[in-house]
């Protein structure tokens, strides 16, 4: 609930949070392209006063994921990764000293699930007692909703 409450506060009063990331740089690693995800993360970081550095292409081919993580945690204050494999997220998180945000992997899509649950909370005013049905493939969004909705 803390994450959802903070997101709701930022939505209600964005000016209060306009400099929360001032002087901070976040790496956006996009192994898997997405216009919506890239633009929304870049805008959010900018609206919070930070700067985004976007890198595209395969991760772990020219240099090991461990080296990518260790270099980025020296240069930036956080890593947002949209990748093909959850193993890449896990390895980035294992080797990085800065936060790693999963913007999508083959197994999970937690940012989408959090956005969906926030929408439900805004619409119904609460989450307690609600039942959620997911119609569709048992994909990364479904996995993340299962983990998010039970909390």
- Residues with Cβ < 8 Å from 5, sequence gap 6 or more? none
* Token reading at 138: 């048992």
pLDDT given at position 85: 98
Q: Judge whether residue 149 has pLDDT over 90.
A: no
For 67-122, how does the pLDDT look when each residue is reduced to its tens digit (9 = 90+)?
Answer: 999 999 999 999 999 999 999 999 999 999 999 999 999 999 999 999 999 999 99
The answer, yes or no, to whether residue 1 has pLDDT greater than 90, is no
Q: Give the phi and the psi of residue 64 in degrees, each rounded to 5.
A: -60, 150
Q: Would you say 29 and 79 are in contact if contact means Cβ atoms under 8 Å apart?
A: yes
Which one-letter DSSP state was computed for residue 16? G
Nearest to 149 by CA among 89, 107, 141: 141
Fold of the domain built from segment(s) 2-104: Rossmann fold (3.40.50)
Strands ordered across the beta sheet of 78-82: 51-56, 25-30, 78-82, 100-104
Query: What pTM, to 2 d.p., does this model score?
Result: 0.93
Tell me where in the chain the CATH 3.40.50.1370 domain(s) lie.
Answer: 2-104
pLDDT grade for 151, boundaries at 50, 70 and 90: low
For the stretch 11-62, pLDDT in tens is 999 999 999 999 999 999 999 999 999 999 999 999 999 999 999 999 999 9
């Amino acid at each position: 609930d803390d994450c959802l409450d903070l997101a709701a506060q930022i939505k209600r009063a964005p000016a209060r949070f306009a400099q929360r990331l001032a002087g901070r740089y976040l790496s956006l690693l996009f192994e898997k392209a997405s216009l919506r995800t890239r633009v929304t993360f870049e805008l959010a970081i900018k609206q919070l006063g930070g700067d985004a550095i976007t890198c595209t292409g395969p991760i772990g081919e020219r240099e090991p994921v461990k080296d990518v993580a260790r270099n980025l945690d020296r240069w930036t204050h956080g890593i947002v990764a949209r990748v093909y494999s959850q193993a890449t997220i896990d390895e980035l998180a294992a080797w990085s000293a800065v936060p790693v945000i999963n913007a999508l992997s083959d197994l999970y899509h937690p940012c989408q699930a959090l956005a969906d649950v926030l929408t439900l909370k805004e619409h119904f005013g609460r989450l307690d007692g609600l039942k959620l049905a997911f119609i569709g493939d048992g994909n990364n969004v479904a996995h993340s909703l299962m983990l998010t909705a039970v909390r």
